[in-house]
A = this chain, B = another copy of it.
């Protein structure tokens, strides 16, 4: 895993409390609070038990979205693929998270399965400090996802985008430039550009 992804995977583990979102059989979003139990160079590990809808959704779709709030008010989000791994990972989860023994004492732990989130991409976002900042990461062969906007060569240099930007994240130039890492992705520049030069990065 690259160092940037490792930093954020470790952050998920450090925060530990995350939300995990899945899609249910009816195509609806479902989310619940979980713990990121283990983070390694190969990804993240979570557990859940066979009786839960969450388990069925993980097995059926093989994917999970995570989000978490860091103590200093920065947020993480992530979408990844997952699969069940051997029961030795349940044991390792209980070793590294001894509180689990109170919830699943003795052999009852084996009603749980461990899911390895073996690839995915995500974003760290800091809305609290000025300028706001974001950074994308990916591991396991996935590519970082780019959202937000860029300014095309249709730009006439009128500067309206820079004036309306709530975060002053547009740099002046013959063609203006959106500083992606400081962009709210609110879309106000796209809405106000008279030359229709602001293009969405993600369809």
Instruction: Give the interface of A toward B (CB within 8 A).
Output: 17-23, 27-33, 49-53, 63-69, 75-77, 79, 102-106, 108, 111-112, 125, 127, 130, 132, 147-149, 164-167, 184-188, 190-191, 200, 202
Contact = CB atoms under 8 A, between A and B. Distances in A.
A112 B30 contact: no
Given A29-B64, A69-B33, A105-B166, A49 B187 contact: yes
Contact of A19 (B67, B127, B184, B187): B67
Nearest to A166: B108
Contact of A108 (B65, B147, B188): B188
A76 to B, nearest CB: 8
Given A75-B33, A77-B32, A164 B52 contact: no
A114 to B, nearest CB: 14
Given A28-B23, A29-B64, A103 B51 contact: no
Given A51-B185, A202-B53, A23 B33 contact: no
A21 B17 contact: no
Given A28-B63, A103-B166, 9 more contacts: A21-B31, A31-B66, A31-B67, A33-B68, A49-B186, A51-B184, A52-B187, A108-B188, A111-B187
Contacts of A191: 50, 111
A144 to B, nearest CB: 15
A77 B33 contact: yes
A35 to B, nearest CB: 10
Contacts of A200: 51
A76 B132 CA distance: 28
